[in-house]
């Protein structure tokens, strides 16, 4: 995450590195499960929406830091490029009118 990929074909070394990193992440997750570090509070839902900042010509506008500084909201954070931002919500219990509540959270954000 966070690294541009400029290749369109990959060699065995690339696949081996991917497999190694996938194995590392899997072992990390297994460790979290074994140590009871995951929530057991039931099912939850949330959102993470990536948005592009565009100029008046509808081209990417690399002003996300100025946008974030002006907005000054903890649930809106920078994304990978200077023209992206990410909108987030707190996790919501997956019950009742959860989709309406999530939509309301997004509208307020």
Task: Please write the tens of the pLDDT for every residue from 20-51.
Answer: 999 999 999 999 999 998 878 789 998 899 99
Say whether both 70 and 25 belong to one domain. Answer: no
pTM of this prediction exceeds 0.95: no
pLDDT at 2 over 80: no
Span 74-104, pLDDT tens digits: 999 999 889 999 999 999 999 999 999 999 9
Say whether both 102 and 82 belong to one domain. Answer: yes
Consecutive H or E run containing 103: helix 98-108
Say whether both 15 and 45 belong to one domain. Answer: no
Structural domain including 23 reads: 10-40
Classified as helix, coil or strand, 20 is helix
State how far the Cα of 15 lies from the Cα of 32, in Å rounded to an integer. Answer: 26
Say whether both 68 and 96 belong to one domain. Answer: yes
What is the tally of structural domains in the chain?
Answer: 2
Say whether both 73 and 88 belong to one domain. Answer: yes
């Amino acid at each position: 995450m966070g690294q541009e990929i400029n290749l369109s074909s990959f060699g065995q070394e690339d696949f081996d590195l991917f497999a190694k990193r996938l194995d590392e992440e899997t072992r990390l997750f297994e460790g979290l499960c074994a140590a009871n570090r995951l929530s057991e509070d039931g099912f939850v839902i949330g959102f993470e929406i990536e948005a592009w900042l565009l100029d008046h010509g509808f081209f990417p506008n690399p002003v996300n830091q100025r946008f974030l500084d002006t907005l000054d909201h903890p649930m809106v954070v920078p994304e990978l490029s200077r023209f992206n931002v990410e909108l987030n919500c707190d996790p919501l219990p997956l019950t009742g009118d959860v989709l309406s509540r999530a939509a309301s959270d997004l509208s307020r954000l």
